[in-house]
Amino acid sequence: MNGGTMQNGTAAVVVDMAAPPQRNFLDGEEFRRQGHQVIEFIAEYYGSIGDYPVNPRVTPGFLRNRLPADPPSRPEPDAFSSALEDIRDIILPGMTHWQSPRHLAHFPASSSTVGALGEALAAGINVVPFTWAASPAATELEMVVVDWLGKALHLPESLLFAGGGGGTLLGTSCEAILCAVVAARDQKLAEVGGKRIGDLVVYCSDQTHFAFRKAARIAGIQREHCREIATCHDDMFAMSPTELQACIQADVDAGLVPLFLCATVGTTQTTAVDPIGKLCAVASKHGVWVHVDAAYAGSALVCPEFGDVMEGVELVDSFSMNAHKWLLANNDCCAMWVKEPRALVAALGTEQEYILRDAASEGHEVVDYKDWTMTLTRRFRALKVWLVLRCYGTDGLREHIRSHVRMAEGLEAMVRADARFEVVTTRRFALVCFRLRPLQSMGGEKTANDINRALLEQVNAVSLGPYVSSAKVGGMYLLRCAVGSTLTEERHVKDAWRVVQDQASAILAKMERLYKDLLQLPYPSY
């Protein structure tokens, strides 16, 4: 813009007509061309994903040192194509490939073509459904989808909109747990008085995901008022109702206020299942809100044969699961249901400002999802879940889950067939927890953890081998093999087990030589 002359005390604005026209950042033709490139890129990635080590062999700073310190001021010619080349050549080699068929660590982050394209559709449409008025169809589709999903998981009607409850789609279980804790907190403080927030106590087991303790701290619960109920191997690390009752009663006797219990169906370390009904019976005596975290195992509930793990779920106040873990919905997608939605709204709702009002919703009870969670701006996750349910159906989802369970059963059988190993915990879903047995000739339990830790490191160091993870429960270090990646086939599981056996043979041979040499050493004289 050029400088202007003064006219009647006002600077005249002169526009430089030579300035380049404003670029159209939503040009349909450019989007079509670049979109084809992206689809081809991803399709080729899936086709060649087996060529990458699942866990990259890189050191901190490897990528930062290869990229410029400053962003470009102007794009290079055909910048998008050039950027895709850098993704392929520089970024992908440094990624942990969660969609690899050899990714057997942690829990799955399942993907599907429909889930990915649903994400693309949501990103392209790019609505912001924080109130009904902000996007009526997005809000109502979410309400339909959470009821669909709840029915597919065989949840009680009391948690669905159809039964007076309701659900929403969040990012992760961490968000769901925090929302539930805040709702429970405000509901309890309305009974006992706000000044008693320092007396509130929450409960979990020593196997509960650390997200719960973090949520409790954010909600204002004192660190020392987060009770962890000890679990044991005899109970397969499930929470004991008897121990919970004793802990709550001790707090009541001390003048504290029991607030919240986080029970788990499918704990992170071993997929332990807490006895929901029995825990609810204890909690209800003291007015404790019960939330069930089924982040991983919730997906398996589409299969009726897993219904036993949900005994008593009709008694809980809230329930959450991650559809992005094992139900093909792509990251991120956590579904949360509550029996009393008004408790969430009372704790998390905002005053409806004039700018957010819409004449079409006046006189109607509408759901404004901004009042169900911490954020106002939220993603249109319902679209991809709706597409997944429509395109795969509940029967397709059941077969998806069952195929992984069958592979895990096969792995469990292979572990049991090798006398050097033991299955540490009862397999419930598609996670197998095992370890090399402690041998008295090699130090027994004293060295068992070190040997198994070394086994994990060597297995994960094998080029193009599997990627598995570990846990430590009841003092035992064990290996975790979670079958669940969408591309995993039976041959990948068998190959992984062969790698584990080969590395175990190498470690045991080395240990045998070491202990043999030690036994032959002369005793020192004093």
Cis amide bond preceding 253, omega within 30 = no
As given in the structure block, the two tokens for residue 303 are 């299969």
Q: What DSSP state is assigned to residue 475?
A: T
For residues 349-353, average pLDDT: 76
What residue type is 268 in one-letter code? T
CATH code for the domain of 368: 3.40.640.10
Given a cut of 50, whether residue 1 has pLDDT beyond it is no
Same domain, 338 and 477: no
Per-residue pLDDT tens digits for 482-505: 999 999 999 999 999 999 999 999
For residues 74-97, average pLDDT: 95
- For residue 32, being part of any structural domain is answered with no
Last residue of a domain, one of 347, 379, 411: 379
Q: Could you give the number of structural domains in the chain?
A: 2
Same domain, 360 and 466: no
Same domain, 495 and 442: yes
Q: What DSSP state is assigned to residue 139?
A: H
- For residue 182, being part of any structural domain is answered with yes
pLDDT of residue 15: 57
Same domain, 458 and 334: no
| CB neighbour list of residue 251: distance below 8 Å, 6 or more residues apart | 201, 227, 257, 258
CATH code for the domain of 444: 3.90.1150.10
pLDDT of residue 11: 58
- Coil, strand or helix: which one is 321? strand
- Coil, strand or helix: which one is 13? coil
- For residue 453, being part of any structural domain is answered with yes
| CB neighbour list of residue 373: distance below 8 Å, 6 or more residues apart | 168, 170, 175, 179, 348
Same domain, 369 and 493: no
Rounded CA separation 241/250 (Å): 14
pLDDT of residue 511: 85
- For residue 23, being part of any structural domain is answered with no
- Range in 126-135, 180-189, 386-395, 478-487 with the lowest mean pLDDT: 126-135
Same domain, 213 and 349: yes
Same domain, 281 and 148: yes
Q: What DSSP state is assigned to residue 377?
A: S
- For residue 78, being part of any structural domain is answered with no
For residues 514-522, average pLDDT: 60
pLDDT of residue 441: 75
Per-residue pLDDT tens digits for 50-60: 999 999 989 99
pLDDT of residue 525: 40
Higher pLDDT: 259 or 8? It is 259
Per-residue pLDDT tens digits for 86-125: 999 999 999 999 999 999 999 999 999 999 999 999 999 9
- Domain of residue 342, residue span: 128-379
Same domain, 255 and 323: yes
9 pLDDT band, cuts 50/70/90, is: low
Same domain, 319 and 421: no
How many Cα neighbours within 13 Å face the side chain of 123? 8
Same domain, 407 and 298: no
Same domain, 255 and 343: yes
- Coil, strand or helix: which one is 153? coil
Tell me what the pLDDT averaged over the chain comes to: 92
Q: Which of 491, 498, 420 shows the shortest CA–CA distance to 462?
A: 498
Q: What percent of the chain has pLDDT over 90?
A: 87
| CB neighbour list of residue 400: distance below 8 Å, 6 or more residues apart | 327, 328, 392, 486
Per-residue pLDDT tens digits for 501-517: 999 999 999 888 877 76
- For residue 106, being part of any structural domain is answered with no
- For residue 337, being part of any structural domain is answered with yes
- For residue 47, being part of any structural domain is answered with no
365 pLDDT band, cuts 50/70/90, is: confident
| CB neighbour list of residue 18: distance below 8 Å, 6 or more residues apart | none
Per-residue pLDDT tens digits for 182-228: 999 999 999 999 999 999 999 999 999 999 999 999 999 999 999 99
Last residue of a domain, one of 337, 356, 379: 379
Per-residue pLDDT tens digits for 285-340: 999 999 999 999 999 999 999 999 999 999 999 999 999 999 999 999 999 999 99
For residues 57-79, average pLDDT: 93
pLDDT of residue 526: 32
Last residue of a domain, one of 346, 379, 412: 379
Per-residue pLDDT tens digits for 437-496: 998 877 888 899 999 999 999 999 998 999 999 999 999 999 999 999 999 999 999 999
Same domain, 268 and 332: yes
